[in-house]
Structure 1
């Protein structure tokens, strides 16, 4: 901890810097003075009074936004004190969340000019009284902010309404809920969300930093954002699983990788939350109940991908696939035609009038956020199909659906094939559990 002499020296530095800022003409003096007061050397959190004053200034004039980024950049670049550096980073995070959306781009501009605002891999507190744990926390906090900035600038970060925006009726921002996104868009974004959640988990404090009040309050801001990240990732996984059998093979593979990643990441998130709750970060009731991805689900999706990979695909007309015609007994062949080839091009988008089949196997240990199982559509009851005799497993689809198949809807053949694969994989899981 800082000695009395160290505290005194820090206080003198703060007063000197504030005095010089008041007479400076290089930047708006009021912006610089507020930032210097908010990031003093004393080991107390950023005062909300200074934060609110700063938010009002930068919302009133774009010149103040530029000045704010420049002053914070200079403040971080010159300090060798972990308290000043951490307070400056917290200030950046709060402005990211509640401030002008132009501010993140000014941070990027400052970094392009050579300021090491979020690149603090070489930062080190030079006071012998402060352990390495504080330096490490500052570095990981900056890494999180850098990843968060990248997500925002690439349009992959789900921004929430601030308290001020809620008071104004939510005007000024348009949010697209995860549940309204198409699977292709989710696949594009989920890897970025998972990477950002990794950075959040990486900020876990160690050693003496765990019990430091300033560290705990700073960490709480990241923990709160991780709640939203976890919810977005969970909802995205639910939607991807619901559409898993309708995706192109490459999209299926990406969705599978996201599930594999989530399987490990959610375990790490549970451990991270357990640590945070043990040291008093927030209230226990605030934390979501993190569900775990089961090994059975991963294995089932893996087997389905293996089976899909065994079929040649016409990549020039994705998602068209080449599949062999379904086997039909010699004594019953209502769908046969001497003019039909051995294999046909068939499409995987499915008739909108077909009913939905929900797999009911319990694949997650809990389900507080999202449905666990993928679904696929068809107009043949899979359980009826499974109960058919071995002599004629497709009898149920050769009667009433005969005309439908011959009327230009070959999708049923793919659906039947997918049903067979899924039921086969389910039987494997059941057999493992019965063993």
Structure 2
């Protein structure tokens, strides 16, 4: 049965590539891009075509005019498929496009396809539910990430017009943005195998991409919290209440992060083998915020410093809270810098896209860790 399913999938892919080669080149269709998308999202669960995935990334970096044909080709592929393998590869491909950090990607908004109710049509429902849940969780995260990038891109234009003395609106925006980042982190925690016999190469590679995304978002949360704590003594009660909720949420997420890394190591995810130790937030910081809310606190001397060494940067909040210390993640926590826009997601923490970040070896292909790199920023036409 499995051999027949693989043969059927290979035949479908070949027919799709042949039909794509017959299509006319227009502003929405590009036969070369369509063929690359089909090959990168093949039905073969034991093989990932990184070569064609990198071709797609190179086209999008080259010119934003290639983004529309790519989105059209991927939408057609996702709307027609009933295979969890094709759906998951398509989501990984879309995730890689986000990591290209091309300005045109910021304007996509919500994903133009819907996998929120995805169901595999080729497996027994008893066996397929775990794969269906994995695809739905991955889609839910990417959909919200795409919307967050779009909204943050729109809001970043307005931030440039805010004067430096208007600290309260900036503080509120920073806290609201922190809450959105924490929501994205919660969605990332949901992307994990929930059924037995799911520890296969494609699933592990997808979690590898998720681990890289967690590195990025968690470091940005730590960075933002450091800025908030420095400014909190000049803020009002409303901001202090929001900051307290953010810190309480950060405590819970720190524990969930440790559990997720431990779970990923147990199932053999490569990037989880070198995860940093998560430092907990001291209760003294929580009590200090509560005193600010009650109006009984005075501004202390805040110690905010960068310890630069050859191994990495260390972010320190107050005298007893070490937020992040990891050789893999560079945290930029200069107090006076502007709020980083979502177009810079991963710029400070991840230098390569998810396809190039892993050394996991599939039966038919070893991932090349040198592919990728930071693309040039290209203006949207």
TM-score (norm. length: structure 2):
0.70
1:257 aligns with 2:203: no
Counterpart CA distance in 2 for 1:99 and 1:71 is 20
User: Which of 102, 105, 116 does residue 104 from structure 2 map onto?
Assistant: 102
Which residue number corresponds to residue 409 of structure 1? Answer: none
**Does the 8 A contact of 1:242 with 1:374 survive in 2?**
no
What is the rounded CA distance, in whole Å, between the counterparts of 1:45 and 1:232 in structure 2? 33
Paired residue for 1:83?
85
Q: Secondary structure at the match of 1:370?
A: strand
CA contact (8 A) 1:266 1:292 kept: yes
**Alpha-carbon offset, residue 62 of structure 1:** 3.6
The residue that corresponds to 2:120 in the other structure is 125
Whether contact under 8 Å (1:66, 1:103) holds in the other structure is no
Match of 1:149 in 2: 146
Structure 2 counterparts to residues 53-68 of structure 1, below 5 A: 53-68=55-70
Structure 2 residues not aligned, in runs of 5+? 155-166, 305-312, 322-381
Structure 1 residues 223, 284: closer, same or farther in 2, change over 3 A? Answer: closer
Structure 1 residues 135-173: Cα deviation after superposition (integer angstroms, max 9, x where no partner): 11000000110111122112279xxxxxxxxxxxxxxxx
Match of 2:52 in 1: 50
- 2:181, 2:221 within 8 Å by CA — same for their partners in 1? yes
- Relative contact order: is structure 1 or structure 2 higher (C-alpha 8 Å, sep ≥ 6)? 2
Q: How many aligned residue pairs are there?
A: 294
Distance in 2 of aligned mates of 1:262 and 1:140: 21
Gaps of 5+ in 1: 112-116, 158-180, 310-347, 360-366, 376-435
Q: Residue 301 of structure 2 aligns to a residue in which SS?
A: strand
Alpha-carbon distance in 1 for matches of 2:103, 2:280 = 35
> Secondary structure, in 3 states, of the residue corresponding to 1:122?
coil
Q: CA deviation at 1:58?
A: 2.8
Structure 1 partner of 2:235: 247
Q: Which residue of 2 aligns with 1:71?
A: 73
Partner of 2:258: 270
Give 3-state SS (helix, strand or coil) of 1:128's partner: coil
* Alignment of structure 1 residues 248-397 onto 2, 5 Å: 248-284=236-272, 286-307=274-295, 356=301, 369-372=315-318
Question: Following TM superposition, by how much is the alpha carbon of 1:241 offset from its aligned partner in structure 2, in angstroms?
Answer: 2.2
Q: CA, structure 1 residues 294+90, in 2 after alignment: closer, same or farther (shift >3 Å)?
A: same
Pair 1:198 & 2:186 matched: yes
Displacement after TM superposition at 1:48 (Å): 2.1
How far apart, in 2, do the equivalents of 1:209 and 1:369 lie?
Answer: 40
Q: CA deviation at 1:372?
A: 4.6
Deviations 1:392-432 (A, max 9, x none): xxxxxxxxxxxxxxxxxxxxxxxxxxxxxxxxxxxxxxxxx
8 Å Cα contact 2:282-2:320 kept in structure 1: no
Q: Deviations over 1:372-401 (max 9, x none)?
A: 5699xxxxxxxxxxxxxxxxxxxxxxxxxx
Q: Classify 1:245/1:270 alpha carbon distance in 2 versus 1 (closer, same or farther; 3 Å).
A: same
Aligned counterpart, 2:5: 6
CA distance in 1, matches of 2:101, 2:24: 24
Contact 1:238/1:373, CA 8 A, preserved across alignment: no
- Aligned residues of 1:245 and 1:374 also touching (Cα < 8 A): no
Aligned match of 1:416: none
> Within 2, Cα distance between the matches of 1:226 and 1:289?
14
Tell me what 2:42 maps to.
40
Computing the radius of gyration from Cα coordinates, the structure with the larger value is 1
**SS at the partner of 1:143?**
helix
Distance 1:303 1:103, change over 3 A: closer
Q: Deviations over 1:218-269 (max 9, x none)?
A: 1111111111211111122223223332211111111111111111111111
SS of the residue 1:155 aligns to:
helix
Counterpart in 1 of 2:374? none
Q: 1:79 to 1:52 in 2, by over 3 A?
A: same
Q: Can you list the C-alpha shifts for 1:252-294, whole angstroms capped at 9, x where unaligned?
A: 1111111111111111111111111111212456312211224
